[in-house]
Amino acid sequence: PNNAEPATEFDRLVAIDHQHILHPQHHPSEHEKPLLWTKGEGIYLINDAGERFIDGLSGMWNVSLGHGRRELIEAATRQLETLDFATAYAGSSHRPVIELSELLSGVVYPSIKAFYFTSGGGEATDTSIRTARYFWRAQGRLEKSKIIARKLSYHGSTVGSASATGVDEFSDGFGPRLPGFLHIESPYPYRFVNPNPLKTQGQAAADLLEEAILREGPETVAAFIAEPVQGGGGGILVPQDDYFPRIRAICDRYDVLLIADDVITGFGRTGRWFGLEHWGVNPDIVQFAKGITSGYVPLGGIGVSARIKGVLDHAEPAKRWWHGYTYSGHPVGCAVAIATIGVLKKEGLIERTEKVGTAFLRRLQAELADNPNIGDVRGQGLLAGIEFVEDRATKRTFPGAANVGPRIKAELLRRGLCTRVLSDVVCLAPPLTATEDELDRIASIVIDTLSQPF
């Protein structure tokens, strides 16, 4: 009967969970029997039954130093004991936000000069968009407000960031996107169909931006926003080497700001501090979150170029950049970010990620090369995507009803690896601190799982 007493403490908690929690991307069928996490230790998450699982996605692509790092716990504790909160609104500042900004200046793209902090990535996207529009309006260019983004991108779930997001499901059920948001095709090496064989695939994909700008009128376009490596929307799409240099040139040609959404790719995930470094490209605005605190406390933000800072600095007081969040520059977030950057530097984790990430990807590629259901194995640093297909020759995907993704996810979990399977892509983003043995173990679980009949 429905009113029976729950049999166990687990059942009791799950019943409350079902009644009172709306989970992100909520659907009750997917949390019938949720994993109830009670502890984190290094690369492992431990559930209420004491079972250990490898945290193959570093939480939600954020716990890049693994769980339980003393330096981060102590930084948060010390900060809470000294100054729990003070606003960073104009006229008020504090040591953690100042020290973090100084540290960031040393590791971010050379083009970036000043920072604004948020609580997470979606707010960072909104802040970038508002700042890009403000930048043009403050210079009298009132029409320059459109934002061009890409299909299969993910930039967040606020009204503004969901409008930039290129996955339609995030808008379809919620009324239309905000006006003035456009999406071009992604540079998806495995699936991009090059319309012009005289160009490389990367050039052709980048030129879609130029076509969109010309179609809309350059005087109406404020910014182009792109993840250096597309993560949560497309399933780890690494662009061609000539894509971003050409994007930069197009943005310069038409006076369009380039926003790098480094929310996943920032702080070493791809083997560089920030993603566009792979191609020597400098954005006008960078946005970050997730790895900046290794996920221990919420923090995100944006960095802007000297040109943008100049416009903000020289506005009339009444027409200032009217933008603000209570939690901008939260002292505890800043203190943990300082400690995170300290560990990344002290342990040489950025360089190490490039090295071990390359070996990790090579092994996956080599051992899945003959698998008839694996279409593409791609990645950069410790970010990898394995795309499965029903038919390798035509790249045809499995029909949704076949439920292949959920079955693979469940089988990985049964073998001790907790990660995300995004429609047709197994995503991997293990902690940057994972040892080579641990990375081998992850690769073995994935290879063994995918070697079973689909």
Residues that bind ligand PLP (CB under 6 A): 120-122, 125, 154-156, 227, 231-232, 261, 263-264, 289, 300
**Nearer of residues 42 and 231 to ligand PLP, judged by Cβ:** 231
Judged by beta carbon, residue 148 or residue 263, the one nearer ligand PLP is 263
Query: Residue 160 or residue 300: which is nearer to ligand PLP going by CB?
Result: 300
Query: Are 387 and 398 spatial neighbours (Cβ–Cβ below 8 Å)?
Result: no
Distances (CA, A) of 138 to 143, 213, 332, 340: 11, 21, 33, 36
Cβ neighbors of 124 (< 8 A, separation 6 or more) are 118, 156, 261, 263, 287, 288, 289, 300, 301, 302
CB of 167 to ligand PLP, least distance (A): 11
| For ligand PLP, the closer CB: 156 or 405 | 156
Confirm if 398 and 389 have CB atoms less than 8 A apart: yes
Query: Least distance in Å: CB of 52 to ligand PLP?
Result: 25
Residue 83 or residue 159: which is nearer to ligand PLP going by CB? Answer: 159
Least distance in Å: CB of 367 to ligand PLP? 28
User: Over the chain, what HEC string results?
Assistant: CCCCCCCCHHHHHHHHHHHHCCCCCCCHHHHCCCCCEEEEEECEEEECCCCEEEECCHHHHCCCCCECCHHHHHHHHHHHHHCCCCCCCCCCCCHHHHHHHHHHHHHCCCCEEEEEEECCHHHHHHHHHHHHHHHHHCCCCCCCCEEEEECCCCCCCCHHHHHHCCCCHHHHECECCCCCEEEECCCCCCCCCCCCCCCCHHHHHHHHHHHHHHHHCHHHEEEEEECCCECCCCCCECCCCCHHHHHHHHHHHCCCEEEEECCCCCCCCCCCCCHHHHHCCCCCEEEECHHHHCCCCCCEEEEEEHHHHHHHHCCCHHHCCCCCCCCCCCHHHHHHHHHHHHHHHHCCHHHHHHHHHHHHHHHHHHHHCCCCCEEEEEEECCEEEEEECCECCCCECCCHHHCHHHHHHHHHHHCCEECEEECCEEEECCCCCCCHHHHHHHHHHHHHHHHCCC
Q: How far is the CB of 376 from ligand PLP (least distance, A)?
A: 20
CB of 298 to ligand PLP, least distance (A): 7
Nearer to ligand PLP, 111 or 230 (CB): 230
Q: How far is the CB of 31 from ligand PLP (least distance, A)?
A: 18
Minimum CB distance to ligand PLP smaller for 152 or for 204: 152
Q: Which CB, 14 or 72, lies closer to ligand PLP? A: 72
- What's the closest the beta carbon of residue 315 comes to ligand PLP, in angstroms? 27
Residue 28 in tokens:
């009750």
Q: Which is nearer to ligand PLP, 121 or 160 (CB)?
A: 121
Minimum distance from residue 399 beta carbon to ligand PLP (Å): 27
Residue nearest to ligand PLP (CB): 121
CB of 300 to ligand PLP, least distance (A): 6
Nearer CB in complex with ligand PLP: 264/308? 264
CB of 75: closest distance to ligand PLP in angstroms? 20
Least distance in angstroms from the C-beta of 139 to ligand PLP? 27
Residue 435 corresponds to which amino acid?
T
| Smaller CB separation from ligand PLP, 58 or 125 | 125
- Give the residue from 97, 155, 110 showing the smallest Cα distance to 325: 97
